[in-house]
Structure 1
Amino acid sequence: MAELLGLLALFVLGASVWQLRRQSEFANRWLVHYCKRQQFQLLSVYRYRFCLRKGRLLAHFRFEFSHDGMQHNEGELWLCGLKVMEVSVPVLREDPFGEL
């Protein structure tokens, strides 16, 4: 009986790791596409944390991007499973002097 519980625990752990990896790869692909549409340069993506909202376990990712090649900004992506719940980026300021 103990061996069966050990195998079950190992299976659940493996499935959880596989799902986390799958979610991270989905977030990365989605953000590459999002940044391309917004004409941003995606610099990095990382999982920040998990939290419960309205009874759902949400994964919170943060990503770094550049909109002009010089400044570096940080945005947020919220996923529930493989579904995008919310994406937010800061208000981007334009150079007051224009491009030099």
Structure 2
Amino acid sequence: MPILANMTEFGKSELFTARQLADIGVNVVIHPVSLLRIAMGAAMRALDTLKTEGSLRAEVPGMQTRAELYELLDYASYSRFDEGVFDFSLAEHYGA
């Protein structure tokens, strides 16, 4: 029978490691909003930087690169798909 642990950073219990949870028989662990909190924290820090410095230059080293984003999204496959379904010209629709 599955035993689930709901690990939320601001819950009532302490944050246990995966090993600690496995040792007590937990075999499913969820972190329901952890990535959202991490992303929103990063966004807030970036906005603070933009406000105080007028640029995000200092944030660039911590950013996901374009190549990393494209790999994550499998952008090449999406682009091939898009080429197959985008088969019309705007000129045909607007008489240009």
Normalising by structure 1, we get a TM-score of: 0.31
- Higher relative contact order, structure no. (Cα contacts within 8 Å, ≥ 6 residues apart): 2
- Greater strand fraction, Structure 1 or Structure 2: 1
Q: TM-score, normalised by structure 2?
A: 0.33
Larger Rg: 2
